[in-house]
Structure formats: structure tokens, C-alpha cells
Amino acid sequence: MEHKRRAIRVGNEILKEINQLLCDGVKDPRVQGVTLTGIDLSNDLRDARIFFSVLPGYDYERAGQGLERATGFIRREIGARMKLKYVPAISFRHDSTLEKAAQMEKIFEKIHYSES
């Protein structure tokens, strides 16, 4: 149980650092419009899956390519900023939840206007 709590705590810190790096450090224009939505960090802290979404009008595939390209830089910066025994291997996964919510909102608006 303690390992899981530590993974959650460290994962949240890693997510904050990556958010900061995306704002200030990563210059790749493909990562503009990216929002990090979560992290799944293994209990041994060696593997991290970072979930991301994109703002409307941005291409999630291009964003994913930009994130993958920046992975080495991000890992080096995490290693320099955080006191971890191991810097986790990082992979990025698209989280389509926000896009699906926007689609549902449009459907609800259409239903609402058709009923009026």
C-alpha cells in the first residue's frame, strides 16, 4: 500500500515538472495546445505513462510526435530537478476524454435547440 501512495505522490510531482517544462522548456511548436491529464506511474517508479489531450483545433497525432521527440529532454530535466533513484521511462498516451466531452456538448446543444 505504501508503494502505491508513493507512486501517486511522485507521479503528481513528475506531472507538475513536465507541465512546467512544456510551458517553459520545450520549444517544439507541435506541443502547443497540449494539456496533461494524468499519469500512471508504476509502483517501482520506473515506468510512467503520461496522458495528454489537445485543445480544439490542434492535431493530437502531431502533438504526440512532438512529445515523443521531447521525451529525452524531459527525462534529463526530471533527473536534474527531482531527487529520484531512477528517472522513469516515459511514454505519452492520448486521452480523448476532453474531445469526447466537447462532442457530447455539441450533441446536447443540437437536441436543446431542436426542442425549442
Residue 86 has pLDDT above 80, yes or no: yes
CB atoms within 10 A of CB 55: 13
| Total length of the chain | 116
Kindly state the average pLDDT of the residues 1-17.
Answer: 90
Distances (CA, A) of 57 to 32, 54, 76, 83, 99: 11, 8, 30, 37, 11
Residue 1 has pLDDT above 80, yes or no: no
Rounded to two decimals, what is the model's pTM?
Answer: 0.82
pLDDT digits over 53-84, tens only? 998 888 999 999 999 999 999 999 999 999 88
Domains in the chain: ranges and CATH: 2-115 (3.30.300.20)
Instruction: Please report the pLDDT score of residue 116 as a whole number.
Output: 62
114: confidence class by pLDDT, cuts 50, 70, 90: confident
Instruction: Please report the pLDDT score of residue 12 as a whole number.
Output: 95
